[in-house]
Structure 1
């Protein structure tokens, strides 16, 4: 019985995710190809701004603009994944009032579907990243295969954030305005575009406190440098966000009883 319920929920989750992905590109002339073109265009803009105009360099590299572009791109796609989850979370339940009225519908899947949709776009970005790495450097590292393990703790955190903010967003509508500013702050206060080791020590703790910094740094380790990640740090990170996810799910289920009254 439990296995059949689990299978039903899995198929429902897949359908929700598929609908979100296809719905986003419905009506576009080239459809899903935008999921590959968009990150490439984003990379061109940031590389032009930071690599050519500001002449930014990354410590430990040859100083080539292509090196800087790849390092920057890793940070941007990790941030982009989390930012998509963060900014969409407050509206996950609000934008689906019909699901709230269905007693049997597992509303917890909305945050999971939202995260899987963002994960699809992350995967498309990684395809572009790997293609550019091979085209510019002519080499790929086997450590790239470890990237899913590096990203996994951030996926758990994204689901936790989705449960918490989607429940809170039903009752506090201003949350959706705040998270946009928070997402931008998390970009500039992480190692996405700034090498933390070049900053004054008194400010570094702010960047290291950002949950994106560790994931970005470890993603660069496996993709850019071809080194194994810091398993101890990732393990501790995973343990903390798993506990957080449990608390967020409990909060979501406690608040769920009041959704119908508000909506």
Structure 2
């Protein structure tokens, strides 16, 4: 893979350029879209439905949205990445996993472009400068590894079974509302009466520990908890291992099925 790093870099650069090619704002759309979402969800959940009772709610929401958007967009974009690059797969010999990996890396750049200013603003307003900030890169790397493993799996599966992307899109919709993006699980009295609900929301949900861990550090200025750190490390390792094995076993016929 390292010997093809130039190709990988070019794939990432090309996708970054082409996504908003010809638009007036160009790559600034990477920032505009999450800000629009933040405004809409703040209005809906903070003002109209009054679900949230959280100080500095837009900042609380934006940290969560940044992580979720990276997760969601990476999976949906990676799913059909091999199909979109079918001509390249058929004509050239190179590590096929570079294609979904480049897609996830583009979304990582987007996450960094959004999360960095959000984190700086949050740290200033919330005063959450603590030594725990050194763990932010650890969580980002683990999150990237976790999502990359999933991306490898869904990309090669969708190349063979074209129902995979619609299934992912359908599954992400309810998962969004079950992910603690716009709410704090501990604030619901229902969770106190039924502790298993909190366990499901915080641990069975695969993206929740990453989101909650980063938000605890950036927004709360507190430690993410040993459980979330271990979860991030283990989830990334397992996802990458399983995703790579599945991709290696199925990639042999990609030039035929694409």
Q: Common fold, TM-score beyond 0.5? A: yes
Q: Are the equivalent residues in 2 in contact too, given 1:156–1:242 (CA < 8 A)?
A: yes
Alpha-carbon shift at residue 103 of structure 1 (Å): 4.8
Name structure 2 gaps, 5 residues minimum. none
Q: Does the 8 Å CA contact 2:179/2:205 hold for their aligned counterparts?
A: yes
For structure 1, the residue ranges without an aligned partner over 5 or more in a row are none
Q: Which residue of 2 aligns with 1:215?
A: 210
Deviation, 1:117, is 0.7
Deviation at residue 131 of structure 1 after TM alignment: 4.8
CA gap 1:50/1:232 in 2 versus in 1, 3 angstroms: closer
Aligned residue runs from structure 1 range 191-230, under 5 A = 191-197=180-186, 198=188, 199=191, 200-207=194-201, 208-230=203-225
Count of aligned pairs: 251
Q: For the Cα contact (< 8 Å) 1:111–1:163, is it kept in 2?
A: yes
Residue of structure 2 equivalent to 1:170:
159
SS of the residue aligned with 1:192?
coil
Task: Write the distance in 2 (CA, Å) between the matches of 1:245 and 1:83.
Answer: 17
Q: CA deviation at 1:158?
A: 0.8
Runs of 4+ aligned structure 1 residues displaced above 4 Å come to none
Question: Would the aligned equivalents of 1:89 and 1:161 in 2 still touch at CA under 8 Å?
Answer: no
1:93 to 61, 82, 91: 82
Return the offset for 1:201: 2.1
Alignment of 1:66-77 (within 5 A): 67-77=56-66
Provide the TM-score with structure 2 as the length reference: 0.89
The counterpart of 1:129, out of the listed 99, 112, 118, is 118
TM-score norm. by structure 1 comes to 0.87
1:134 CA drift (Å)? 5.5
- Supply the distance in 1 between the matched residues of 2:36 and 2:23 (Cα, whole angstroms): 17
Q: CA RMSD in A?
A: 2.0
Aligned equivalents of 2:144 and 2:252: distance in 1?
A: 26
| Structure 1 residue 235 displacement after superposition | 2.7
Pair 1:150–1:241, CA change in 2 (3 A): closer
Q: Which of 26, 44, 56 is residue 39 of structure 2 equivalent to?
A: 44
CA contact (8 A) 1:189 1:206 kept: no
How do 1:1-263 and structure 2 match up within 5 A?
Answer: 6=2, 8-58=3-53, 63-64=54-55, 67-133=56-122, 137=125, 139=127, 141-142=129-130, 143-197=132-186, 198=188, 199=191, 200-207=194-201, 208-263=203-258
Using the alignment, how far apart are the partners of 1:163 and 1:248 within structure 2? Answer: 5
